[in-house]
Amino acid sequence: MIITRIEIDGFKSFVDFSLDLHPFTVLIGANASGKSNVLDAVRFLTTAVSADLPSAVSSVRGDGESLFHQYSDGTRAPEMRFALEFLTDFGEHVGNRWRYEATIGRGGAAADRRMRYLSEVIERRLGADHWFDFVGASGQFRQLHQRDQGMRPDQAVAKRGLRRSLLGMTPVMSDGKEVAWLTDLALGLEGVKVYQFEGSALRQLSSMADEGQMASDGAGLPGYLHRIRESTRSEDHPVGAMADVQLELRGLLSDVPRFDVVVDNVRRDIRVEFAARNQPPFPASEASDGTLSALATIAALNDSEQTAPLLFDEPEAFLHPQAFRRLLRLLREMTSDPGNDEADWPLRQVVIASHSAEILREVPPAQVVVTSLVSRVDQGKVSTVTAVRRAGPSEARDSSAERAPMSREAVESFRSAGRSAI
């Protein structure tokens, strides 16, 4: 699965924002320029799909009210609108282009300002026109329209007033058959991972009762590594993908000792231990933040079950610049090549947000998006919003996104057009 475009309006620092994404995309900009807000928007939307709106609010920074864009007069946007366009490689719809839209608002009564869906739209290219009915898990009756109009989207779903996404339900048609494409789509979006690792979380042990997933802050890393090892091991390869993880970690950090994933059947936990040659092992609690964050990043890249996009917020945070340059090369190598003609080449995408100047030395300008804040006037209201542009060739030589602010012409174009364009 690859996200090809994201649109955001009314969420945090975004007003009529749009961004086209490559299989490998870097968002770079000064602090508070909105680059991390892009990742927050993806996290918010995908969490809302997999759980509900309260969970989505808890997954990002800020409370529910603060997520709505604020104007200079203190008022806030009445609603938030999101859209994702993406290609899929799952189910029966390999290679299809989809568009998912969601509009989210708040209750009008002062006593009930909780978020709710005002509408959702799901589109894809299909066959002949027809209507059919389906019932969501809530038992509420809905209708879905399919249409075929050449290159235009073929399918749309809309609903109002609920706190759970349509994709978080298990819809069935009136004849009792599940709408399989909705299930595939929901699983694809739920699989999108947004990581911002924290040292304290990476050092935690995992319970043997855990499902082997890694949280957005890196908690659960030992159990995650254990699942990857057990699901990929064989008689010829007893440690499975852990062999690749070991090699890639040593490629980034040449002096890092070998690690092992230890299962303690007495304490019912799983831990990571490191051991230098001829030295006793030491626990992850004594390892550096850089070592653990690099290990977590490489593990995510080697998870064969992870086919949805991977998004990393400031992956350079704990790494030496030279190690980060190596990590950038590895991340680029692991993403999809649009020019690859192999039928089994997977759709793999990585998006990172960073303020490291090393990116401009390692990544082609076409894959780098520069974020900045500009003032915008909309219907008489002034606000500060995030704008984006592609990095220019000269910025790779300058090696500093902050030395290349948005041009006057670009700012005026952004203000007059009322949207950011890539």
Per-residue confidence (pLDDT) for residue 346, from 0 to 100: 58
N-term to C-term CA, the chain = 21
Two tokens, residue 397: 């030589």
pLDDT, one tens digit per residue, over 101-153 is: 999 998 765 545 689 999 888 887 543 333 333 333 333 333 443 333 333 44
CA angle, 63 as apex, 58 and 67 as ends, to 5°?
Answer: 105
> SS3 letters for the chain?
CEEEEEEEECECCCCCEEEECCCEEEEEECCCCCHHHHHHHHHHHHHHHHCCHHHHHHHCCCCCHHHECECCCCCECCEEEEEEEEECCCCCCCCCEEEEEEEEEECCCCCCCCEEEEEEEEEECCCCCEEEEEECCCCCEEEEEECCECCECCEECCCCCCCCCHHHCCCEECCCCECHHHHHHHHHHHCCEEECCCHHHHCCCEECCCCCCCCCCCCCHHHHHHHHHHHHCCCCCCCCCHHHHHHHHHHHCCCCCEEEEEEECCCCEEEEEEECCCCCCEEHHHCCHHHHHHHHHHHHHCCCCCCCCEEEECCCCCCCHHHHHHHHHHHHHCCCCCCCCCCCCCCCCEEEEECCCCHHHHCCHHHEEEEEEEEEEECCEEEEEEEEEECCHHHHHHCCHHHCCCCHHHHHHHHHHCCCCC
> Which one, of 346, 351, 342, 344, lies nearest residue 371 by Cα?
351
CA 144 to CA 158: how far, in whole Å?
A: 8
pLDDT at 355 over 80: yes
CB count, 10 Å around CB of 126? 17
User: In terms of pLDDT, which residue wins out, 167 or 249?
Assistant: 249
Chain centroid, CA 109 distance in Å: 33
Per-residue confidence (pLDDT) for residue 124, from 0 to 100: 74
Binned at pLDDT 50, 70 and 90, residue 410 comes out as very low
Look at 176-185, 259-268, 323-332, 374-383 and tell me which has the smallest mean pLDDT: 176-185
Per-residue confidence (pLDDT) for residue 156, from 0 to 100: 47
CA 287 to CA 318: how far, in whole Å?
A: 12
* Pair 136, 169: CB distance under 8 Å: yes
pLDDT at 399 over 70: no
CA 202 to CA 196: how far, in whole Å?
A: 11
CATH fold of 2-192+349-417, please?
Answer: Rossmann fold (3.40.50)
pLDDT at 92 over 60: no
Domain ranges of the chain: 2-192+349-417, 202-306
Mean pLDDT estimate for the chain: 81
Tell whether the torsion through CA atoms of 195, 198, 201 and 203 is positive or negative.
Answer: positive
CA 327 to CA 144: how far, in whole Å?
A: 45
What share of the chain in percent tops pLDDT 70? 75
pLDDT at 344 over 70: no
CA angle, 27 as apex, 422 and 65 as ends, to 5°?
Answer: 95
Two tokens, residue 260: 């092992």
CA distances from 322 to 69, 75, 254, 361 (A): 38, 45, 11, 11
pLDDT, one tens digit per residue, over 56-65 is: 999 998 788 9
pLDDT, one tens digit per residue, over 12-29 is: 999 999 999 999 999 999
pLDDT at 160 over 50: yes
Tell whether the torsion through CA atoms of 202, 192, 352 and 225 is positive or negative.
Answer: positive
Q: What strand order describes the sheet that includes 368-378?
A: 193-195, 310-313, 350-354, 24-29, 368-378, 381-390
- Cβ-proximal residues to 111 (8 Å cutoff; 6+ apart), any chain: none
